[in-house]
Each structure stands twice: as C-alpha cells, then as structure tokens.
Amino acid sequence: MDNPKRILLIVGGGIAAYKSLELIRLLRRQGIGVRAVMTQSAAEFVTPLSLGVMSEDHVYGDMFDLKEEREIGHIQLSRQADLIVICPATANILAKMAAGIADDLAMTILLATDKPVLAVPAMNVRMWSHRATQRNLTMLRADDVQIMDPDEGEMACGEYGPGRLPEPPAIAERICTMLAHPFNAALTAPRAPAPHPSARADRLAAQPDFAEESPRPLYGKRVLVTAGPTHEAIDPVRYITNRSSGRQGFAIAQAAAEMGAAVTLVAGPVHLVTPPGVIRIDVESAREMAAEVEKALPADIAIMVAAVADYRAADIAPQKIKKKGAPPAPLSLKENPDILAGLAQHSRRPKLLIGFAAETENIIEYAREKLAKKGCDWIIANDVSGPKETNVMGGENNAFHIITAGGTESWPESSKEMIARKLMEKIADAITG
C-alpha cells in the first residue's frame, strides 16, 4: 500500500490492557501501522516488551525521558498518526482529558493533537455509571472525541454490567471505519498465543477461568424489590401520590445485583436509571404493582421499599374533571390492596420478607406494630418527619431502624447507596448463615 494508515495507540492502565496486544495484531493484519504509548499504570498490566513485539516499534512511555524527547517529541508522535486511539481508556484518562490535564506523555499528546481521537473505555460498572464519568463523556463528545460504548457483561472484578472493553475485532472495525480503510473480517481469526507471559494481565488472560463467575454471597438467590411511589388516577390528568423518589429501593436493587442476586425491581413512576443487571418492571398504580409482584414470584427475598398509596379514587373520571362554578363533590377513596401483607400470607411467601415503614412520630413503636400487622420478618423504619429539603423522602441520605422479632438495631445516617449495601450484607448473612 502506497501510504499506509497509522494510528497512535495510547494504552491506559486497566485489567483490559492486555487486549491491546490483540488489537495491535488485528490492526497490523489489516495493514494499519501502530505505534504505542503507554501510561505508567498500563505497565502494571502489560509489559512494554509485549507491546513492542506486537507493534514492531519502540514503545513510548515517559515524556521526561530525554533520549525519547530528543529522538521524537510528543508533537511528532501525534503528527505521524492519522488517528489517536485510547484503549483501554480508563475513568482517570477520560477525566483528565475532559479537564485538559497534561501530566504525562499520553495526556500531553491528547491535549496537543489536532488528529481525530477515539476513546475505548473499559472500567468497573460503577465507575462507568458514576455521574462524574458520564459528565466527562458528555464533555468529550462535545469536544468531538469519539467514544466507543463498552460491552455489557460479567467483569474481571465479579460485577455485571456495562464497562467491559469491546472485543478487539469490533474495535479494529471501528478504527478502520474512522480511517476510511477497508475492513477485512476474514483477517480477524483467533489470536496467536500471548507473546510475553510475564506481566500480570498477560498471565490472567492465559487463565481459562479468568472471566468466570466469582463466588458472591447472593449468587443464585432471587430478590424482589418494590420502589418508588404509586400514582392513583383521579381523572386522565390528575392523580394522588407521595414524595418517594425511588432512590432507596433502586440502591437496594443495585446492591443485591452486585452481590450476585437475580433481581426484579417493580418500580412506580420515578426518574431513575435502571441499575445494571436488574430486571425492571415499571408500573403506575398500587394494583398494577400488586399484579407485577405476583408475577415475579417465586423469590427468596422480597424487600418492599415502595411507598404504595394506601388509597385510590373510588371512581376514576373518564374525562378531565371541569370546574363548574360550585365546589366539586368530595373525592371518595377506596383502600388499595396491601401488597406486603398479601405476600406474607401467600402460598409462595418469600423466605425473608422485609417491609419499610415511613413514620413521622413514635417511629419504633409504630414500626413494631406494623411488623405484627403485616406479618413480615423485618420492618425497616425511617423517620420521614422534617422539612422537605432535608427529608429522607426524596433526599440523599437515610437512617435505618431494623425491627425484627428479636429486637431493634439502629444504623446511623449515611447515603442511600451505602446503607443499601450494608442492608444487603445483613440480608446475605441472614439468608445464608
């Protein structure tokens, strides 16, 4: 080929770094030249020797290496490439790119280049879905950086969700498209043995069980969670509801999934992202929630976090209720089915059934009464008194009082995510211990 296309591959420090070796091999088979730059932390996962063998080129790493600077500067490295690819792009690299930080050779190249840039992120699912990472990605897209979405699946750390590096053939194809270079799928045959087995990730990659399920405390358990408020229609545009945001229930569903459970989340109307790996069923009313809970059985553990409306309009007006001069007729209400109490009596009652109690006074006393009345195993009581700005309902934090037949355990206030993890650990101990 007269003028072969060249990429500058920046290898970030992550467990997926070993896949960059396979990517280089595939790109070179497509006739694309690859020069590699590695960050300092990448060297924890792949060796410069491995990258050098695959690219048949010097591997660049330390911008303060005078010999390297004399031979070829960072501007030169980017100038000689048609495209800069960051693979794997860690959360740290993405954050530094978004902020314009140039604290090593890789970041200096990225700040100085005028070439197109493709970032191929790979990271833990929680790092991927963190608001900071998503905010950085939005900024980078606005800066014309192309982002290849990660794959979803089981991760090296044992969690499940989006964050896995896409397979090297898919990355190679994307690079070819960006370079307007023909992609020959036939040349993406299975990889040759790893060239240098000394680095940690190289060794891990060689282990056949590397990607397999790691033992997690709730693996094989079915967990059912309800979350959010319900909307009880009055007419086609009006409804009765409450201030529940659904955040606590979603955090519990997420924590259960992270601990290996198969989670079904029956959610009232909320504006929240579905936690990775969770099956979510959206409902509006209490009666719809009751029907979906029934369908989700059997479950080993049920955690009823939803703030279900106790009452609904006795009659839903088929058309919008109009002002007619005189005050409207009083709204007559009917009681909704009690989903938690129903589950306690069910022939397929979950082994561990947990209810929530939102109280504004006499918290422990009312919650203990509720434990008996509903027939569940634990009640988690929250104090929902206080002004809207600092209220548990809709807020960031929560404090739990866990009421069981054996007594009461009170946990201090912490974020809804933290307390959800602590709760799931207690549940795992109770169910498996």
Residue numbers annotated as active site = 157
Distance (Å, rounded) from C-alpha 103 to C-alpha 249? 41
Any contact of residue 398 with ligand CTP (CB under 6 A)? no
| Pure H helices in 231-315 | 247-258, 286-295
Shortest CB 106 distance to ligand CTP, Å: 50
124, 263, 385 from 276: Cα distances, Å: 11, 10, 32
Kindly give the interhelix angle for 247-258 and 416-432, rounded to the nearest 10 degrees: 50
Stretch of residues binding ligand CTP (CB under 6 A), selected from 170-178, 277-285, 331-339, 345-353: 331-339
Distance of CA 39 to the CA centre of its chain: 26
Any contact of residue 358 with ligand CTP (CB under 6 A)? yes
Rule CB under 6 A: choose which of 105, 110, 306, 419 binds ligand CTP.
Answer: 306
**CB nearer ligand CTP, residue 204 or residue 313:** 313
Binding residues with ligand CTP: total (CB under 6 A): 15
User: Scanning residues 214 to 253, which ones bind ligand CTP (CB under 6 A)?
Assistant: 226
Stretch of residues binding ligand CTP (CB under 6 A), selected from 26-34, 47-55, 262-270, 355-363: 355-363
Distance (Å, rounded) from C-alpha 223 to C-alpha 302? 6
Three-state secondary-structure class, residue 141: helix
Stretch of residues binding ligand CTP (CB under 6 A), selected from 82-90, 194-202, 301-309, 416-424: 301-309
Stretch of residues binding ligand CTP (CB under 6 A), selected from 72-80, 133-141, 254-262, 352-360: 352-360
Rule CB under 6 A: choose which of 268, 277, 355, 395 binds ligand CTP.
Answer: 355
The gap between the terminal CA atoms of the chain, to the nearest Å, is 66
Shortest CB 262 distance to ligand CTP, Å: 21
Q: Are 18 and 47 in contact (CB under 8 A)?
A: no
Distance (Å, rounded) from C-alpha 403 to C-alpha 392? 18
**CB nearer ligand CTP, residue 86 or residue 339:** 339
Distance of CA 344 to the CA centre of its chain: 32
DSSP assignment letter at 303: E
Cis peptide upstream of residue 4 (ω within 30 degrees of 0): no
**CB nearer ligand CTP, residue 21 or residue 224:** 224
**CB nearer ligand CTP, residue 40 or residue 362:** 362
Rule CB under 6 A: choose which of 240, 286, 296, 352 binds ligand CTP.
Answer: 286
Shortest CB 339 distance to ligand CTP, Å: 3
9, 41, 79, 170, 322 from 150: Cα distances, Å: 18, 20, 28, 11, 51
Residues making contact with ligand CTP (CB under 6 A)? 226, 286, 304, 306, 308, 310, 336, 338-340, 355-358, 370
